[in-house]
Amino acid sequence: MSNPWDVMERAPQGDADVTGIYEAVGRALSMWEILEEAVAALYGTIIGTHSQAAMAAYGTVASGPGRMGMIVAAAEAEHTFIDKQSLSEVKSLLREIGELAARRNDIAHGTAAMFSGSLAQGNYLVPPRYNTRRQQSPRRVFDLSRSDEFVFGRFKYAYTAAQIDRYADHFWNYVEKVYDLHDKLTGLRLGKEAKRNEAVKARERAQLEAYVEQQLQQRRQDQ
């Protein structure tokens, strides 16, 4: 597996106890929601507000790709502190999270099942049989004459508890990546705001000095 979002190769030995799979699914999905929270915080930083109104609007977008699109659009429109490199980082990170979401969906929509055959022994998390998109074509199955191979071989994924936990670790790694980018953008925004505030103060100071000088000259003339 070269990328964290790649489908892991199925292990020949599954879990002896199905409870481990249920627990791993819970951990992974909880970790994904923490990642969603981090992405929402990133959105708030980009638009410059964490107000309840702004975040409520963000939360009405049901689909992950839709929310990611909102963040990219906001980053593209924000020119005051997001430069080309930072914009590229935002797009790249969100693209990777979008790829990883496919594995989250595998876990969220999978079902635990036990197998006993030449290809697998034990419990696995596999896609439900009604879901055609998560099944392979029978032409790609190993040996159609073997019923156990036909069933297990058709699944596009079959995860053990340990493999699900590895995906949970990947989810957490991206939580850290999102917050690293969040902190970087926060620093850039604060830096820009500090410079802008200094410029405003300098302009106000210059205006005050000019007013004082004008008043002094007026007094001299009156004397």
Strand partners, 146: none
Please report whether residue 11 resides in a domain: no
Return d(Cα 126, Cα 153) in angstroms, integer. Answer: 11
Single-letter residue type at 196: R
DSSP helix/strand/coil, 207: helix
For residues 100 and 5, is the Cβ–Cβ distance under 8 A?
Answer: yes
Determine which of 45-49, 136-140, 154-158, 192-196 has the lowest per-residue pLDDT on average.
136-140
Q: What is the pLDDT of residues 35-84, one digit of tens each?
A: 999 999 999 988 887 677 777 778 788 788 889 998 999 899 887 778 89
Look at the block and give the residue holding tokens 């990219």.
Answer: 72
Angle made by CA atoms 140, 144, 146, in degrees to the nearest 5: 130
Residue 209 lies in a domain: no
Q: What is the pTM of this model?
A: 0.76
Average pLDDT over residues 210-217: 63
In a domain, 34, yes or no: yes
Give me 220's structure tokens.
């001299």
Mean pLDDT of the region 153-170: 92
Q: Domain range holding 122?
A: 19-198
CA distances from 20 to 3, 4, 14, 26, 185 (A): 25, 21, 11, 10, 39
> Rounded distance, CA 91 to CA 68, Å?
9
Check residue 130 and give its pLDDT.
61
- Whether 172 maps to a domain, the answer reads yes
Instruction: State phi, psi for 214 to the nearest 5 degrees.
Output: -65, -40
3-class secondary-structure state, position 87: helix
77-125 per-position pLDDT tens digit: 887 778 899 999 999 999 999 999 999 999 999 999 888 876 678 999 9
Structure tokens, 162: 């340990």
Tell me if 10 is assigned to some domain. no
Residue 1 pLDDT exceeds 70: no
Per-residue pLDDT reduced to its tens digit, 117-153: 766 789 999 988 765 555 555 444 444 444 444 455 6
* DSSP class per residue in 62-86: -SHHHHHHHHHHHHHH--SS--HHH
Confidence class for position 196, pLDDT limits 50, 70, 90: low
Statement: residue 191 has pLDDT above 50: yes
* 116, amino acid identity: S
Which is nearest to 161 in space by CA: 31, 32, 30, 19? 19
- Token pair, residue 183, equals 């902190």
Let me know if residue 145 belongs to a domain: yes
Burial of 87 (0-12, 13-18, 19+ CB in 10 A): middle
Total domains, the chain: 1
In a domain, 194, yes or no: yes
Tokens encoding 208: 């005050």
Q: Is 102 inside any structural domain? A: yes
SS3 26: helix
Any residues with CB less than 8 A from the CB of 50 and at least 6 apart, and which?
41, 44
